[in-house]
Structure 1
Amino acid sequence: MSLVALPAELLLDLPDFLHSIEDSYSLFSTCRTLFRTCANRNPKFIPRLAANSGRVFFRPHPHLLIAATARQVADWAVQDDERRFVLETAIQGGVDTLLELAINVSELTMDDIRNLYTYKCDVINRRLDLAAGPATRHPGTVSSTTWDSFPTKHHSFSKTMSTRMTADTSS
């Protein structure tokens, strides 16, 4: 008996046994039936998978996921004084407590995760490379982007950063 021959009710339960975004991607990529059956899960399911995948896809983890869900958490908190207190307690509890609140409150779709990952690669990694200075051609950098391959709008910024960093190290 093949996996796709199972009733839809059982197929809908499969994502509950997944541990990360990678697992869901692998499962949904196996066949169209699984993709159609399981791809439109409850949006509260995705943040938990994203948090478990954090060390791989969402560096800096967990800060990137917290930033991605900050608007939803803020909107949730302003609805009630008790919720504000819960948010204040989570903030005082540190990053891990705040991430747990964000996971419980926010709703993310796979499209949101794709957009977040694209933003991370296109914007955050490039900014980190700029901050790393002229050593960006060495293997320890965030991405393999070199100074000259940045789009024109970033070129003047990178030259300014390079000049500032050179001035700081020479003094």
Structure 2
Amino acid sequence: MPKDTAFNSNELFILISGIIAYVIIFLLPKRFTRQQTVTMLLIGIFISAFFDNTVCINPFNYYSVNDTPFVDFWDMLSFVMFGPFAYLFVYFYTGIGKNRSTYFFYISVWALISMFAEALAWHVGVYHYKNGYQLFFSLPIYLIVLTVTMVYYHIFIRR
């Protein structure tokens, strides 16, 4: 599949989403140290890169990212675009009242937000599903990732 050299909807989506997400982080009141902020952004970037590069290759090969089957500049930028999700997930969690059901509800809502973001990215061509992959297959991945991120918050940031 040759790369179309024209700037298209998936690249525009990556740029606009990334800029908006990082501007939001910049404008929100600071709740974390610089090191905690950078760590949360890196967690979001790493998780995106890890799962995209795991699910996209053999033996799975369930989808491709952007316009080529190879990792390119736009793939790297798409990983950076998803970095703020981990930060915003923890940031908004620190601002809500908590009880026993809060954890499950909060993680479930963010899993739905993540699926919506993936659906938008799929719609504009950031993701190209193949081999029977469907959006709802991502739900368990999001639930696991968000739960691990919540554990990270409770162990390393809250204390």
Instruction: Give TM-score, length-normalised by structure 2.
Output: 0.31
- In terms of fraction of residues, the more helix-rich structure is 1
- Relative contact order (alpha carbons < 8 A, sep ≥ 6): 1 or 2 greater? 2
Greater C-alpha radius of gyration: 1
